[in-house]
Structure 1
Amino acid sequence: MDESFGPEYVRPAQKDCPRCACCTVDLCDRGRDSIMQCAGLTPAEHKGTVRGCPCSAVTTPRTAAWRAAQVRVTLLARELPVSEQAEDVLRALADSREVDTDDGGLLPQLTARGLAELQGLRPVITELGRTYLAARGDVRSRAVVEVVDVDRRARTARVTVAAWRPDEPVTVLLDQITSDTGLDADMLPGRLLEAEANTEAPTADRLVLTGLRAGGDGRTGARQ
């Protein structure tokens, strides 16, 4: 006799993401806000399908992975730059000049850091490479930063930078702030911080904050 244990549960199908051909809407919504990207939030058997999803990629502006990469490359440029010879190669690529691919390992030094890549057999600079070169030339100085608000779901915070554009909030990864300052997310709204910033940046996407730290008692009167 067959035993019946009730109706079989079938998980409802999830909607495909309209912005890519590899993920569901839910996965891309989560991947966009995670430095792990879509592939890092996917079971092992499906990672190959979603790896490189543009909705969460390092190369897609304003994803969590992109924001983290801007900080990483800026710190690389300021604190642990590539060799002068490798930087000369990178500048040549930025100027669309031909470079010697048999260069004694300089190109691998750049590609390993995501500053250059091969398109076919031709080396080209990446957007991260351009960020690196900009960071090498930027004037960076300490600046007062005020946390306007925090989005726990997206793991971001909106901040204003007085020395840049005090009335234009910019988005920063929440985990960067809490990691740098040691402050809990609940303590951040209305908090005054200090950071190193390229205050001559032309746009919010080019403004990169590093070395965040709490300053004084850190509170503003308006948002206490």
Structure 2
Amino acid sequence: MILDAHGHLGPWPDFLIPDKTAEGMVELMDRIGIDAIGISHLLGVGLSAEEGNRLAFEAAARHPGRIGVWQVYNPHQRNRLTTEGVWGVKVHPDVHQCRLDDRRYDPVWELGLPVLAHGQTDSPWSDPEQFTTVARRHPHVPLLLGHAGLWPYGFARAAELIHGHPNLYLEICGSKMTGRWIAKLAGLAGADRVVYGSDSCFLDLRVGFGRVALAPLSDADRALIQGGNLARVLKGRLA
């Protein structure tokens, strides 16, 4: 099973997105062999977490088993969250300008669901060091470090930081990621701690998938990264 951990639907004001629809995404998934993708709606990341989450649930209902929902939590709006019918929670400290280790995110960690968080090396809001703080406070919460820190100069540091925190994973989407870096991260952190994501529809799903499909990995490590690790994190939440 091939699972994409990091997807989006909808528009973003300063980014060209040729196809913002769930239907277009699923059609492309069918063409390249991706079984399911977890999405957060960009309206939820931006103006309204409640409305964006509603649209995400509608898309998932139209495509059962193919689209999973990362419900967005905005610490300023303090929107409602659910434990039912979701893959977990999505937080974006940089957009919301609230540090990942800020106590305003406590309602997220208290749910115990998997969490996908934007990560950005040297950001005051989401530097990978903050992920280790959260991982220590909440060892029962599986936490995906989005983009593996985003910038290539921080990839190796992010891989080193997750050592000693078994609930921390590197999610590898981003325009700066390469197949060689994916293989290097698997060597530094362990292939069982690396999770494939594409950042579609922000970024081209085909390019994101191609990086891991063609990375210099063993078949066993590729299978873990392409879906095995995320399936373990999600447990019974895939359906």
Sort the TM-score into its range (normalised by shorter chain): under 0.3
Larger relative CO (CA 8 A, sep 6+): 1 or 2?
2
Higher strand share: 1
Larger radius of gyration: 1
Higher helix share: 2
